[in-house]
Chain A
Amino acid sequence: MPAAKTIWKKLIWTWKPESEFEAGDSIVKNLLLHWFPSKVTFESLSFRYSLWLGTGSAVLFAILTLTGIVLMFLYVPSVERAYASVKDIEYAVAFGWFLRGLHRIGAHLMVFVVFVHMIRVFLTGGYKNGVAAGQNRPLNWIIGVVLLLSTLLLSFTGYLLPWDQLAYWAITVGTNIALAAPMVGEQTRFLLLGGNTIAQGALIRFYVLHCFVLPTVVLMLFAWHMWRIRKDGGLACVDQVALQQKREKTQPVKSKTYSLLGIAGTRTVHVETALVDEDRYATNSSPYLTRRLLVAILATAVLAALFAIGIEAPLEEPANPAVTSNPAKAPWYFLWLQELVADTTLRFGGFTLNGALVGGIIVPGILAGLLLMWPYLDRSPVSATGVWFGPERLRQNLVFLFIILLIVILTIVGTFMRGPYWVLYWPWETWVQLPRLF
């Protein structure tokens, strides 16, 4: 079997290098790996710094793409047949329930993981430029924010497709929020729905957005996001290592001064090695990064699959424009917004400001604007780059965590404490059973 062994070895040697020389070569010679650096710092590899959340969301996106392609073969984007085809996927297609469950739970997990990834980057000052030249981490933060918004849009367009009650009323509320936007509201809604009513035009538009437009946007932004990380010299924690090295470096001893060509007497020549790559701080990407990557992929896939088996994907009654389900709730990650639009109708004397405008457009708009601008408002020193809870950023972190806490509280209130007619209930109280009048 020597020939077979050779072929096998030819295929996998980059994943299992047998020498320092092979390890250095392995990354650049492999199409799948060549976008990684050949050396990686221990801090970047560690779980405690990055929590590997970016990798997790990328893996979830891959799972969603693959399950989504299979679902596209089975789903029919027409108002007459959409609901029935989803029911078919659930009950008649082999493993259809698992694929739909995995796609659905993968989407929920992705929203969660991307959101927590943003919190991680903020709390570690990961959007800050460090010491290396040519960095533009604020730009990568902006790309990340757009990726987060795209993820939310992907979920929003996705949960409309089953064309059940949840879908119908979500599209009603969502597009009416667009309607509340001043000046362009009416045209935006008309363009989104392909008309004035929620019908076939709206379904096919959301379908194309969900299956093609938004995934393409996410894929391109993801590539840009990764490329920027390389251009920025890796994760922000690498700059901490560089700073550390600068502090440790002993001053060159001026025993004998070799000046440049003997002209400038004060400029001594000493060679700095690329210290970041020193064995103390960094190691070969293959196999240390590649192995952890495989572990992260495995862990994410297993976790998502377990959730998919354990949590049944719900399918409500077919869409019915006449009856709004009571209470009509958006998925958990939009409930803080639903809580906001329900609480923010403002009245000044005879003048009324619709909650749809305040809670649906102004407040989220301010939050998104703040997120995009924050790296440029942050004036903390370089030493706060790439370190959890940097003391120089204490106040910023507290403000950020306070906003996150508000969102979490609103989400919890919306999820567990709102009953029929959006009345407040404690989680342990049972809802009043209402007679169905119409």
Chain B
Amino acid sequence: MKTTNPPSPEPGHLPHASQVQGPSRRTFLDRLGLGALLAAIGGQATMMLRALVPDVLYEPPRRFKIGAPDQFPQGATFLESERLFIFREQQTFHAISAVCTHLGCTVKMIQLNPPQQVEIRGETVQEKQEFHCPCHGSKYYGEGTPYAGPAPERLAWYHMELAADDGQIVVNLTEPVNQDFRLTV
């Protein structure tokens, strides 16, 4: 940046102000202008980018009613729009997610007829169904533990409860539970 040299001080005079205080008025105004420009650009860019991060989401609720317990048949029911398997054994219920833990495809349920004996973590379990993922070939046992393919984790189980007002089953997707969770009606 170009600065004008102040006249050299005459002997006996005080030195010019710019010689003591560093930047001249011109340099200062240059910097001020440049700073204002950068601040304006930065501020507007921030606002534009921030506007792209939504503050309000119009998404389906993560906690919802799925119907009265009596509506569900024994065995498995698939809720399409919720991507959820609801299992009923007599009067107990549990819910397993149909979302593959690898890359989020919807797994398909394979009915095993007759039921098979499998060993899961040292326990022998009889299972009537398995889950297979069509995207990359992950396979899960009936209670959601993966045994083949790229899936890194078990299928999620979700908390269920009965609604206080009308007795419908409520599933809470924000509350994952262990595989021994059961809702008894």
Q: Mark A residues whose CB is within 8 Å of B.
A: 169, 172-173, 176-177, 190-191, 194-197, 199, 201, 321-328, 338, 341-345, 352-356, 360, 420-423, 437-438
Contact = CB atoms under 8 A, between A and B. Distances in A.
Given A328-B105, A423-B137, A353 B54 contact: no
Nearest to A354: B152
B1 interface: no
B105 A321 contact: no
Interface string B56-82: 010110000000000000000010110
A169 B105 contact: yes
A172 B136 contact: no
B83 A322 contact: yes
10 contacts: A172-B103, A321-B80, A322-B106, A323-B106, A324-B105, A338-B135, A352-B152, A360-B103, A421-B134, A422-B149
Interface in B34-65: 52-54, 57, 59-60
Given A341-B103, A341-B150, A438-B109, 11 more contacts: A176-B103, A194-B52, A199-B59, A321-B80, A324-B108, A328-B134, A341-B102, A354-B152, A422-B133, A437-B108, A438-B78
Contacts of A328: 105, 134-135
Contact of A342 (B110, B132, B136): B136
A71 to B, nearest CB: 25
Given A194-B52, A342-B150, A422 B108 contact: no
Contact of B135 (A169, A344, A423): A169
B54 A322 contact: no
Nearest to B151: A345
A158 to B, nearest CB: 20
Contacts of A177: 103
Given A326-B108, A355-B136, A345 B102 contact: yes
A421 B102 contact: no
A191 B52 contact: yes
Contacts of A356: 102-103, 150
Interface of B: 52-54, 57, 59-60, 78, 80-81, 83, 102-111, 132-137, 149-153
A172 B108 contact: no
A422 B134 contact: yes
Contact of B59 (A195, A324, A423): A195
A324 B109 contact: no
Which of B57, B80, B107, B137 has most chain A Cβ within 10 Å?
B137
Given A322-B81, A341-B103, A437 B134 contact: no
B138 to A, nearest CB: 8
Contact of A197 (B59, B110, B152): B59
Contacts of A325: 134
A438 B153 CA distance: 23
A356 B136 CA distance: 11
Contact of B57 (A196, A324, A354, A423): A196
B156 to A, nearest CB: 14
A324 B106 contact: yes
Contacts of B59: 195-197, 199
A327 B150 contact: no
A364 to B, nearest CB: 14
Q: Which 6 A-B pairs have the closest CB atoms?
A: A422-B137, A322-B80, A342-B136, A326-B134, A345-B150, A355-B150
Nearest to A190: B53
- Residue in A177, A325, A345 whose Cβ sees the most chain B Cβ within 10 Å: A345
Contacts of A437: 108-111
B151 to A, nearest CB: 7
Nearest to A358: B150
A342 to B, nearest CB: 4
Contact of B104 (A176, A322, A344, A352): A176
A355 B135 CA distance: 13
Contacts of B57: 195-196
Nearest to B81: A322
A355 B8 CA distance: 73
